[in-house]
Chains A and B, each alone.
Chain A
């Protein structure tokens, strides 16, 4: 019988290092902006503290379960030392750790304040696609956001129908697109690449397919892309019905829907 709880601990212990080393390549830890990097640092801090706490508390529990019980524990006879153990271990040490975590949290939040000096891009959420407007040039794109590398981009996020959420995990956390509100979020992409983005707030039957890409490219390539865009969006309808994903998201830009047609599909 004593072997079984030991297996619990072994199970947890094996998984945790696997957990730590597995995240790479994409996702919230493969960061390409300072904003996302700060959050990743916050994660690693909390992950380290959490792992240490799990090992210490799990170890205490493990010892408490399997210690040799030949002599009656002195602990049992002394309620005062039990209370001290519980207060220090359960309240005081966690409090100190939380103060550190809270300090870092506030620091990362302060660093993530939205700026206003960058290039403005408007993103409007629709069921179930993304409208991207470049106010300076009058260009409108769909499901594909081009941004210049190394320059701050200020997103202005709105929704025309239900709540959506704008999430490119390598670039920053989510910001919701809430009907009746205008939300803002800024990023500065540090290296060129194509990044997967998705709607992260359940928005109905096409939620799983409401994906987009962010293409970060050097300023001259970006300028060239912008200049090549027609000022009127393509009127080729997106064939999106019954929630079937319409194919890879980066191809969707060529088949962007007219808003009226999407409304009729709904």
Chain B
């Protein structure tokens, strides 16, 4: 047994200092880095919160200048949401816990996971560097145009924001795809969907929400940056654009984002409560359904944030109803937790205390949430301090309290050391009372008529007392956090040994050592129930085990039932994710300073690293079973699911671009705007034929390799590549013949962005095609192993189908409607 462990350690551990830091792909290491990084960002943004509260402690205060205040509240919101709460929950806790909870040895795509972290770190540094050069974004965390357009915010401040958000979006989307595929494919044998821990369910719903919600943010921020740097007019009503387009795009992301943070928190509470009530969770199925339905409803609520912009009353009433509807699944959750506590037997420990604090505060946050769904009341309190109170009850009470519950609960697993109970309770009470003192008075300030985002107020406003109380509360919260840091440091120095399962909990992460070894589980367990560690039928050794050879192996199972385990070989340490993130970072810095040579350098590094990434590892190594592992094909393979999720998020991008097109058009008089003629149809018609024709050889190539025919594969891909190249050349010629540039009005901007965005996809498809051709010549594919061929082909077909939409909407529709 010990030799098994030693061999596994040799295979899975990242040796050496530099390798251990820059080449590590272990999900636990990445998760810990996320948690630590997010905590540093929280400290910085928290200090920003203290600065704001100090400035507002008394009327007419002059601690900070108005511009500095605007920078501080913009960074506070941006950092807390994008760089603290979301990454800590998803990248941090999700990364660390999901593979352990589902009985896997790593995430489905360990290298992509490392890439997510490095991009998160670099994007965070990118955004925060603005602060150190005194040019922090100052347009608020939702960056409303036209205030954030170059006419009203000429500095580089907003470029840091818009580019940082796009940069960071790559990381968040990659994480979400990784989680979906991991949860779909890497669950231990026997863990069917009805046995998945509720935290895993919550992360699954959240990840889907990210896949669908991030594109509107990325698109909105990209259009903003294109407006700012290249003079287009998407958001400029003076040239046919729309100010409200930004608000729609931002809040189609922004409202789901609330639940992207809240659902993992719900998952934490649903995990912590049954452990400390020492009973199974009540109404598991209802809790799963309520998480799923919250995920769906959250996409129908965005106008909730736009009630006062002057939309028609009928649509307001619809969005009011949608906003209130979220109460139903939330109510089910609250009552399920109460029922669980009711039937259980309470063990009062710090994680449970934070969970109970969450229950009380989220009720208030939820009630004020219903209130602001009531449209006329929202007219009064929107953009007032009442909203500041509401959103902090939801995000601090509803998300940060569960984060602390999670840290007290799972840090013993991560470090092997217990945290001190007494200090934990000090932390809870300081933070909980401080939180309520800070934010409860803001409800009253809002009702009294105090707007948000004001750097000062007058003494005769009558709000001096409430503001002072609020400031005192803020410092109490900070004291609570300080106690937590102290507690953590002391636990690392002299904390009690945690042991495998200090809480006698029911889920799989407690079945292994604390901290877990690099390979998580010596043997992948077989699961027979929802709380495997609580059941008589304890997890058993699987019939066949992935091995302990020099290859990293774990199981891939079927999506719904988690049966038919196949051995899946995982990649090991590599510097490629770090280098790719660096390349992308250089590219973004180049865009920020408008330096083409830097952009090109970043792109070249990125493409070179990607090419290496696509090349499979040494294929001669044998597995433990002494033969080459069966290479997984089709839906057996995680990569197929990853590609499908990638295509899903790309489809949303195009759907949004088309929506923008019709949204702008619906507000325009003549179309195309500015007396421009409708586009000529000859070149795009030829291109349609070419692109559709290019799909045929791909079908043929795919069918050929399935029969083992190498020549068909090579010829098919080469033909398709040529047709793609012809398409791009014709499109560039068309651009050259147009009498206008992108920066004439909103129409011209849309025309170029939609067609060029599709053109980039053709180019990416050609790169995938080229890499597949090279591998085909190297003899990588056979009738048993042709996954990359399938994926390159599917992507190509996707780009073709999108062209049909582009052609119909951009070229045909101006002629016919």
Bound-state Cα–Cα, A176 to B146, Å:
13
Question: When the two chains form their complex, are residues B328 and A46 in contact, meaning their CB atoms are under 8 A apart?
Answer: no
Among B242, B360, B373, B453, max chain A CB count under 10 A is at B360
Q: How far is the CB of A179 from chain B (nearest CB, A)?
A: 5
Residues from chain A with Cβ under 8 Å of B448 in the complex: 23, 26-27, 169
Q: Which of these, B320, B341, B378, contacts A173 with CB under 8 Å?
A: B378
Residues from chain B with Cβ under 8 Å of A82 in the complex: 282-283, 339, 343
- Known A28-B449, A39-B379; contact A83-B283, beta-carbon cutoff 8 A: yes
Residues from chain B with Cβ under 8 Å of A69 in the complex: 345-346
Give the nearest-CB partner of B144 in chain A: A163
Q: How far is the CB of B10 from chain A (nearest CB, A)?
A: 47
Q: Which of these, B67, B359, B377, contacts A243 with CB under 8 Å?
A: B67
Question: When the two chains form their complex, are residues B144 and A98 in contact, meaning their CB atoms are under 8 A apart?
Answer: no
Give the nearest-CB partner of A168 in chain B: B449
Question: When the two chains form their complex, are residues A90 and B341 in contact, meaning their CB atoms are under 8 A apart?
Answer: no
Residues from chain A with Cβ under 8 Å of B383 in the complex: 165, 167, 174, 200-202
Give the nearest-CB partner of B364 in chain A: A54
Q: Which of these, B316, B335, B433, contacts A86 with CB under 8 Å?
A: B335
Residues from chain B with Cβ under 8 Å of A167 in the complex: 383-384, 449, 451
Question: When the two chains form their complex, are residues A179 and B243 in contact, meaning their CB atoms are under 8 A apart?
Answer: yes
Interface string of B354-395 (1 = CB under 8 A from A): 001101100110011011011111111111100000000000
Q: How far is the CB of B442 from chain A (nearest CB, A)?
A: 11
Question: When the two chains form their complex, are residues A86 and B282 in contact, meaning their CB atoms are under 8 A apart?
Answer: yes
Bound-state Cα–Cα, A105 to B318, Å:
11
Bound-state Cα–Cα, A173 to B462, Å:
20
Instruction: List the one stretch of A4-12, A146-154, A217-225, A226-234 in contact with chain B.
Output: A4-12
Question: When the two chains form their complex, are residues A4 and B429 in contact, meaning their CB atoms are under 8 A apart?
Answer: yes
Question: When the two chains form their complex, are residues A8 and B283 in contact, meaning their CB atoms are under 8 A apart?
Answer: no
Question: When the two chains form their complex, are residues A245 and B283 in contact, meaning their CB atoms are under 8 A apart?
Answer: no
The yes or no answer to A199 lying at the interface (CB within 8 A) is: yes
Residues of A124-172 whose CB lies within 8 A of B = 127, 161-163, 165, 167, 169-170, 172
Question: When the two chains form their complex, are residues A73 and B331 in contact, meaning their CB atoms are under 8 A apart?
Answer: no
Bound-state Cα–Cα, A49 to B348, Å:
31
Q: Which of these, A46, A61, A198, contacts B451 with CB under 8 Å?
A: A198
Bound-state Cα–Cα, A4 to B378, Å:
35
Residues from chain A with Cβ under 8 Å of B67 in the complex: 205, 242-243
Size of the chain A interface, CB-CB below 8 angstroms: 97
Residues from chain A with Cβ under 8 Å of B291 in the complex: none
Residues from chain A with Cβ under 8 Å of B341 in the complex: 61, 64-65
Instruction: List the one stretch of A106-114, A115-123, A186-194, A251-259 in contact with chain B.
Output: A106-114
- Known A8-B356, A23-B447; contact A42-B283, beta-carbon cutoff 8 A: no
Among A76, A86, A127, A201, max chain B CB count under 10 A is at A86
The yes or no answer to B302 lying at the interface (CB within 8 A) is: no
Residues of A49-65 whose CB lies within 8 A of B = 50, 53-54, 57-58, 60-61, 63-65
Q: How far is the CB of A33 from chain B (nearest CB, A)?
A: 12
Among B310, B363, B375, max chain A CB count under 10 A is at B310
Residues from chain A with Cβ under 8 Å of B429 in the complex: 4
Residues of B370-426 whose CB lies within 8 A of A = 370-371, 373-384, 425
Residues of B676-726 whose CB lies within 8 A of A = none
Bound-state Cα–Cα, A46 to B373, Å:
11
Q: Which of these, A67, A86, A179, contacts B146 with CB under 8 Å?
A: A179
- Known A11-B436, A102-B320, A205-B67; contact A58-B456, beta-carbon cutoff 8 A: no
Interface string of A70-83 (1 = CB under 8 A from B): 00010110010011
Residues from chain B with Cβ under 8 Å of A63 in the complex: 342
Residues of B231-275 whose CB lies within 8 A of A = 237-238, 242-244
Question: When the two chains form their complex, are residues B360 and A202 in contact, meaning their CB atoms are under 8 A apart?
Answer: no
Bound-state Cα–Cα, A204 to B379, Å:
21
* Chain A residues within 8 Å of B, Cβ to Cβ: 1, 4-5, 8-9, 11-12, 15, 19, 22-23, 25-29, 36, 38-39, 42-43, 46, 50, 53-54, 57-58, 60-61, 63-65, 67, 69, 73, 75-76, 79, 82-83, 85-87, 89-91, 93-95, 98, 101-102, 104-106, 108-110, 112-113, 127, 161-163, 165, 167, 169-170, 172-176, 178-181, 183-184, 196, 198-208, 242-245, 248, 266
* Cβ contacts A to B, 25 pairs, < 8 Å: A4-B353, A4-B425, A8-B360, A12-B364, A26-B448, A27-B448, A43-B380, A54-B364, A64-B342, A65-B356, A73-B343, A75-B339, A82-B283, A94-B327, A95-B328, A106-B320, A108-B375, A109-B376, A167-B449, A167-B451, A176-B308, A180-B242, A200-B382, A200-B383, A200-B384
A27-B447, A27-B449, A108-B374 known; 6 new pairs, CB 8 Å cut-off, are A46-B367, A53-B367, A58-B360, A87-B286, A105-B373, A173-B382
* Chain B residues within 8 Å of A, Cβ to Cβ: 65-67, 70, 139-140, 144, 146-147, 152, 237-238, 242-244, 279, 282-283, 286, 308-310, 313, 316-317, 320-321, 324-325, 327-328, 331-336, 338-339, 341-346, 348, 353, 356-357, 359-360, 363-364, 367-368, 370-371, 373-384, 425, 429, 432-433, 436, 440, 443-444, 447-449, 451-458, 462
